[in-house]
């Protein structure tokens, strides 16, 4: 099991498909499940869980109502009577499923924008045969998927719907909602209220009182009243009225749950083995589903032949004996397509997006300097292990935002894509549309457009401030204190007066004539030095 692998990690689809590790297995099982069983008239649609608590599992979900709360979520379409699984779909998030529909919202498949109703339409389209007049099918769903919009669209596809519904769904009649403040204190069990749509008489919503009110939506269902048994306090079992549509829901909805019980309760391969790689755990869960389907077919064949019902443990013994008798000629190797290759002749890049070389130089040691290098953004996204670096000193000025530069190398790196012959510069601008359609990194977080560091930013700010200071400013700062410093101690010092007088005359009053009165005033006055300068 150490070398067990199913897909090519260098394929382009590995970057956009979260379930790519087991995608080939899922596709094979979907083809096998549909071809090995006739589509029944009544289907059951619900979610299931492949247990997995690995933090590396990118498809892991949490569902509090499931026995195994952590794992990979599946949409399952099963036969309502035998619990045979006709189709599985791994839930990979709403964004990926919208991308599979052409990059638009799920409303292209279902008029209900929620991912649940869209999944019902998406999977039924794959399972059901082409629409024919007079041929109808029925599907049972729970309240997470049922909606008025979904029922109308399924009815246009000749598919009836029955399922519980939430009262906050769009189109639900508010008159049927039983509020705690206004409802009677004691309502007899079995009481039912039915509302029929005027625009579509086949569409009806009912409120049925069990212990609490239950709301059900159905299309094409009978309004006849049947009975069902219920336990009451004291250990007694009573019979209460029940609408026919509610009986159909109870009888058909358990298809997916029965399949889960057969898969997880006893003879599960997945729960008996532990792996460090999460995709191997998912693979064994898918193998369990195939084995349960094989057991259901084996059991139904015994019924048609008039034999006693087949036991699950006895079936596994027969399966084990048959697998030991197989030879290599039974298995045919299927080679997957590597996906679309990178185009040989790439679209020319605009002239504004040409590569520019870093203008800065860094002093390494005395007499030696070099240009700094940074990691290529494309190589950072496509790297396959932590610490792998591809340095470059070139960047795209048009894609950069000031000092937040987009560094790109001008080399062809074959490991980025299958049959790659494009440089990182071409991949960023042509394949990724100037970085707007770049994929998620293979490992680690997304790339960051960082500017300068603290030291380099402070150094550049200091250089900018020095360049912005005018040259005359230092001269004024030197002469102004000289006037104040020389005139302040001028009292009683004739020689100091003679030295300071020309300075005052030249700097502060250059237009005044050489008058002895003007010059001697600062020396003979005993006032403050600053005040004398202002008077001059």
Domain assignments of the chain as residue spans, ordered by start: 1-142+253-340, 167-176+188-249, 351-467, 479-535
Site of tokens 């008239």: 41
Tokens encoding 116: 């649940």
Q: What is the pLDDT of residue 1?
A: 73
Site of tokens 């970085």: 435
Q: What is the pLDDT of residue 467?
A: 62
pLDDT of the chain, 536 residues: tens digit per residue = 778 888 888 887 888 888 888 899 999 999 899 888 889 999 999 989 998 888 888 888 898 888 888 999 999 999 999 999 999 999 887 655 554 444 444 455 555 555 678 889 889 988 988 888 778 899 999 988 899 989 998 998 899 999 999 988 888 888 888 887 677 778 888 888 888 888 888 999 998 888 888 999 999 888 888 888 888 888 888 888 888 888 889 889 888 989 988 998 888 888 888 888 888 899 999 999 999 999 999 999 988 888 888 889 999 999 999 888 887 766 665 444 454 444 444 467 888 888 888 877 777 677 777 778 888 999 999 888 888 888 888 899 899 988 888 999 988 888 888 878 889 999 999 989 888 888 888 888 888 877 666 666 666 677 667 666 555 544 444 444 444 444 444 444 444 434 444 444 444 444 444 444 444 444 444 434 444 434 43
CA distance 404 to 390: 18
State the SS3 of 463-502: HHHHHHCCCCHHHHHHHHHHHHHHHCCCCCCHHHHHHHHH
Long-range contacts of 263-271 (CB under 8 A, 24+ apart): 263/288, 263/289, 263/292, 264/51, 264/67, 264/68, 264/288, 266/312, 267/291, 267/312, 267/313, 267/316, 270/50, 270/51, 271/51
Tokens encoding 83: 């619990």
* Residues comprising the chain, all counted: 536
User: Do 189 and 230 touch, CB atoms closer than 8 A?
Assistant: yes
Question: Which of 476, 412, 72 lies closest to 270 in space, CA to CA?
Answer: 72
Site of tokens 């933090």: 55
Q: How far apart are the first and last CA of the chain?
A: 100
Q: What is the pLDDT of residue 2?
A: 78
User: Do 165 and 215 touch, CB atoms closer than 8 A?
Assistant: yes
CA distance 74 to 180: 36
Q: Is the C-alpha dihedral spanning 348, 441, 3, 58 positive or negative?
A: negative
* Run of H or E including 243: strand 236-243
User: Do 127 and 87 touch, CB atoms closer than 8 A?
Assistant: yes
Q: What is the pLDDT of residue 332?
A: 60
C-alpha distance from residue 260 to each of 217, 238, 291, 500 (Å):
25, 30, 12, 105
Q: What is the pLDDT of residue 111?
A: 56
User: Do 160 and 137 touch, CB atoms closer than 8 A?
Assistant: yes
Tokens encoding 50: 């492949």
Maximum CA extent, the chain: 140
CA distance 162 to 154: 11
CA distance 437 to 297: 46
C-alpha distance from residue 347 to each of 396, 397, 400, 466, 523 (Å):
17, 19, 21, 46, 85
Q: What is the pLDDT of residue 523?
A: 44
State the SS3 of 47-78: EEEEECCCCCCCCEEECCCCCCCEEEEEEEEE
Q: What is the pLDDT of residue 35?
A: 86
CA distance 140 to 147: 12
Q: What is the pLDDT of residue 447?
A: 85
Strands 60-62, 236-243: pairing is unpaired
Eight-state DSSP code of residue 515: -
């Amino acid at each position: 099991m150490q070398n067990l692998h199913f897909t090519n990690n260098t394929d382009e689809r590995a970057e956009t498909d979260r379930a790519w590790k087991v995608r080939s297995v899922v596709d094979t099982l979907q083809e096998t499940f549909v071809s090995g069983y006739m589509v029944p008239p009544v289907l059951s649609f619900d979610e299931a869980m492949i247990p997995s608590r690995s933090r590396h599992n990118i498809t892991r979900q949490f569902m509090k109502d499931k026995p195994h709360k952590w794992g990979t979520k599946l949409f399952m379409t099963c036969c309502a009577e035998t619990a045979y699984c006709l189709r599985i779909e791994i839930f990979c998030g709403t964004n990926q499923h919208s991308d599979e529909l052409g990059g638009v919202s799920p409303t292209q498949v279902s008029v209900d924008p929620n991912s649940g109703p869209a999944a019902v339409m998406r999977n039924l389209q794959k399972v059901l045969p082409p629409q024919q007049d007079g041929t109808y099918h029925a599907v049972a769903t729970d309240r997470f998927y049922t909606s008025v919009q979904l029922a109308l669209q399924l009815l246009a596809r000749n598919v009836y719907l029955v399922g519980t519904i939430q009262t906050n769904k769009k189109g639900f009649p508010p008159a049927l909602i039983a509020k705690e403040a206004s409802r009677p204190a004691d309502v007899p069990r079995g009481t039912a209220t039915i509302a029929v749509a005027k625009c579509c008489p086949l569409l009806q919503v009912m409120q049925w009182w069990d212990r609490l009110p239950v709301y059900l939506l159905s299309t094409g269902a009978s309004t006849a009243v049947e009975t069902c048994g219920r336990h009451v306090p004291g250990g007694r079992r009573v019979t209460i009225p029940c609408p026919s549509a509610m009986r159909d829901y109870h009888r058909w909805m358990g298809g997916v749950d029965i399949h889960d019980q057969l898969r997880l309760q006893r003879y599960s391969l997945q729960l008996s083995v532990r792996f460090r790689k999460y995709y191997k755990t998912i693979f064994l869960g898918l193998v369990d589903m195939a084995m349960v389907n094989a057991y259901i077919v084996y059991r139904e064949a015994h019924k048609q032949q008039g034999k006693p019902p087949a036991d699950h443990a006895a079936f596994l013994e027969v399966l084990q004996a048959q697998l030991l008798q197989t030879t290599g000629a039974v298995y045919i190797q299927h080679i997957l397509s590597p996906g679309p290759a990178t185009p040989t002749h790439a679209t020319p890049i605009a002239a504004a997006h040409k590569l520019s070389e870093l203008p800065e130089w860094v002093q390494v040691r005395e007499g030696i300097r070099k240009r700094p290098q940074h990691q290529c953004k494309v190589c950072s996204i496509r790297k396959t292990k932590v610490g792998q670096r591809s340095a470059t000193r070139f960047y795209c000025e048009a894609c950069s935002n000031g000092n937040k530069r987009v560094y790109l190398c001008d080399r062809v790196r074959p490991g980025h894509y299958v049959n790659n012959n494009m440089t990182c510069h071409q991949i960023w601008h042509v394949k990724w549309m100037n970085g707007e359609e770049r994929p998620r990194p293979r490992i680690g977080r997304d790339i960051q457009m960082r500017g300068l560091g603290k030291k380099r930013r402070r150094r550049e700010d200091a250089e900018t401030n020095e360049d912005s200071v005018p040259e005359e400013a230092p001269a004024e700062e030197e002469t102004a204190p000289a006037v104040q410093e020389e005139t302040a101690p001028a009292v009683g010092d004739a020689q100091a007066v003679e030295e300071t007088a020309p300075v005052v005359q030249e700097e502060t009053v250059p237009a005044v004539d050489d008058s002895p009165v003007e010059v001697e005033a600062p020396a003979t006055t005993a006032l403050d030095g600053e005040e004398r300068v202002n008077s001059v």
